[in-house]
Structure formats: C-alpha cells, structure tokens
Amino acid sequence: MSRPALTRWKQIDALFDEVMDLSPAKRAHRLDQACVGDPELRRAVERRLQALDEVEADAFLENREEFFDAKLPSIPEATAEALELGRFRILSELWHEPDRGVFRAHDEDSHREVLVLLLQGEEAPPLKRPFLYDVKGIGSVQHTHLTVHVEVGESQGIPFVAVEDERASSLAQLLRRSRGPMPEALPDFLALAGAVQALHDRGIAHKDIRPENVWITEKGTWTLTGVGTAPRLARQEVASEVIPYPLLGYAAPERLRGNDGDPRADVWSLGALLYTLLSGSPPFPSPTAFAVHAIKRLDPPPLPTSVPASLRLAVERALAKDPQHRYPDAGALADAVQGGKKQKRTTRPVSPVWLLGGAVLVVLLLVVLWLLVG
C-alpha cells in the first residue's frame, strides 16, 4: 500500500477537503488549476474522490451489524441500559443538563414507554431531598395541562421521577420554528396559566416554567411538565453570576439571587413566556453573565405598540423586579391577560396555604420574643 509522507498527505488532504463538496465540473476545474505540473497529486486526489463516491454508493461502514454478526448496541445505549430504576428499564438518553439526565424508559408494570428524569453528577446527593420534595408536590396535583407523574422515587441512591410521555414537540421547538410573534397562542398560554394556578392553589410553586418544559401533545394541547423541576442554584453560581444555561431567561431575578422562589417567581416566568409569544423573542435573550445582570436590574425592550395596552401592562407587572409588585399568582396574571374581565380576581385573597405559613411564622416570632423577654 502506498503511504504518502506526512507533507504529501497534508497536500492531498487540503486539496481533497477543498473540492469534496463541489460538483464534478467544478472539482475538475479546481484540480486543473491546483495540479499544474503535479499529475501525481491530481491522481491521488481523484483516487480519494472516487473512494468518496463509492463509500456513499455502498453505504460503507454504515451498517455495523454486517461486521459483527450480531446486533451490537451503541456504547451510550449499553451504558443507559445498565440503569434500572425499580420497575423502569432505561432505554436511551434523550437530553441532559448539568445535574440531571432525561431518559426514555420502559415501564415493566404498564408495558408502556415513559420519560424518566434522574439526578446525577457531583452535585446530586445534596439536591436529593429538595428535588424529591418538589417533584412530589407537583405530582400530587392533577390538571389537564400538567403531565401525569407515574412515580417519584429513589432507587439505588438515585432519585428519579417518571412521567407519562405525551410530548410530540415542545414550545421551545415551536418558537424556533415560528421565528416571530405568536399572538394566536394566547388561549394556550391561558390554559398553561390555569395549570400553574392549580399548583398555586395548593401552595406549590413550579419554579421552572420555560419553553423546554412546555410539551405539546399530538392534539396540540400544551402541557406543563414537572420533569424539568429547576435545580437549586449553588452558592458559587449565585456569587459568580454564572447560571446554568437552561435556567436563564425564564427564571425570576430573586431565583438568580439564590432564593427558592414562591408563586410570584412563577408569575415572572409566565410573564417572560408571554413576552416571548407577543414579541417573538425572550425579554432577556442572551445566555451570558450580562443577561443575569439585565434580568436583575434592567427592563426588557418595550413590546411592539401593536400589542394591546392591557397586555403590555400585564407583562410589565408580571416582570416587576420586586415580587411584591407582581401579580400574586398565575390566576391573577391570567385574569389581567383576559383584559380585566374578572378584575376582581387580581385582588384575590392569598392562598390559604401561604396564609397558614405566614401565621405559623408570626406565632414562631412571638414565641422567640417571649423567650427572649422571659
């Protein structure tokens, strides 16, 4: 076999690389120019071009089974399959974020495919309890526009949640395709806000509302998933303002300061989502430290004047930096979006659970005061 010297190889390689995507006529023309006085170079490049054509025609190396006499799973498949979480057998990984992976899995009980999210990585162990607490809370609420939790649990030390897989696409994909405002999606947005209100009615905050977590079923229904329940920010992430990308853009300013967030943080996220639907791009689009700065301190560009004033005001109030200046919950925001038809709901009483929490806090303070005085 002729094995060209390294310098010659590089020469052949560079020319081959230059012409491989060209049409046959353009290839020949370029070779005429480049190989003047060097017919051997031309022959070498033409040999490789011929090999390229034959490779495509023969699907060379495309069918691994032909070589191995047996079905050979891919390394990631085999690795993923090594994971069995209770009754769920992991089939393949769908996507991953810094501290979590989302997998396609087979449910041995129902013989159906489900989606499983599990925590993993160095940061996982301390996140375990808050994660399970959050997903159990979300999973306890049933609503047409919330995904159904099949199981929340822990297996071999790995916390996981399994949900029914109804997604045909996601809002993130829809936004990428539309590349412009989507005012026609307002009814879907309101349906989503209804699902978030169902959580708020139970005193639960979702904490991770963003386009990736809004799944769209085959019938076109928008469903909010709890699969992406937000990671809690580590102290160093808050201090350095280097926030994991998936969170940026839709997480309220107080979340970026390391606070856990309550329903009003969800109102901010819904406001950001509404802004995106009305203007065609997120209020703080750049996934950089500057975006963190902007979300905390700056106002987004004003919405187009074609957007009705009542909607612009609703978005503005939802995106207030101070949670106290926002709508108290998703239902109040939804009412404002509907044009104040049910204006009285914007002054809706605080959910009994939050009221109870406040009362407990007051009693505790009184006890502490009494102890101090005593």
Partner 1 sequence: MNTPPAEITRVLQHASDGDQAAADQLWSLVYSELRRIASRELMSERADHTFGTTSLVHEAYLKMVDRTRLDWKNRKHFYASACRAMRQILVDHARRRNAVKRQTQKNKAPLDEAITMSVSRSQELVELDEALALLLEHDERLGQLVELRFFGGLTVDETADLLGISKRTAERDWKKARAYLYEFMQNDQ
CB of 287 to partner 1, least distance (A): 17
Report the alpha-carbon distance of residue 335 to residue 256 in Å, rounded: 27
Q: Of the listed pieces 115-123, 164-172, 187-195, 249-257, which binds partner 1 according to CB under 8 A? A: 115-123
Query: In angstroms, how far is CA 306 from the centroid of its own chain?
Result: 30
156 binds partner 1 (CB under 8 A): yes
Burial class (CB in 10 A: 0-12, 13-18, 19+), 76: exposed
CB of 108 to partner 1, least distance (A): 17
Nearer to partner 1 among residue 69 and residue 184 (C-beta): 69
166 binds partner 1 (CB under 8 A): no
Distances (CA, A) of 292 to 62, 69, 256: 45, 53, 7
Q: Of the listed pieces 13-21, 246-254, 274-282, 366-374, which binds partner 1 according to CB under 8 A? A: 13-21
DSSP of 82-126, one letter per residue? T-EETTEEEEEEEEEETTEEEEEEEETTTTEEEEEEEE-STTHHH
Report the residue from 6, 309, 371, 372 that binds partner 1 according to the rule CB under 8 A.
Answer: 6
120 binds partner 1 (CB under 8 A): yes
Return the bridge partners of 97, or none: 100
Q: Of the listed pieces 114-122, 293-301, 334-342, 360-368, which binds partner 1 according to CB under 8 A? A: 114-122
CB of 247 to partner 1, least distance (A): 16
**Contact present, 136 and 162 (Cβ < 8 Å):** no
Nearer to partner 1 among residue 9 and residue 290 (C-beta): 9
239 binds partner 1 (CB under 8 A): no
Query: In angstroms, how far is CA 212 from the centroid of its own chain?
Result: 4
Token pair of 184 as six digits? 């026609």
**Site of interaction with partner 1 (CB under 8 A):** 1-3, 6, 9, 13, 16-17, 20-21, 47-49, 51-52, 54-56, 60-61, 64, 66-70, 72-79, 81-83, 96, 98-99, 101, 120-122, 124-125, 156-158
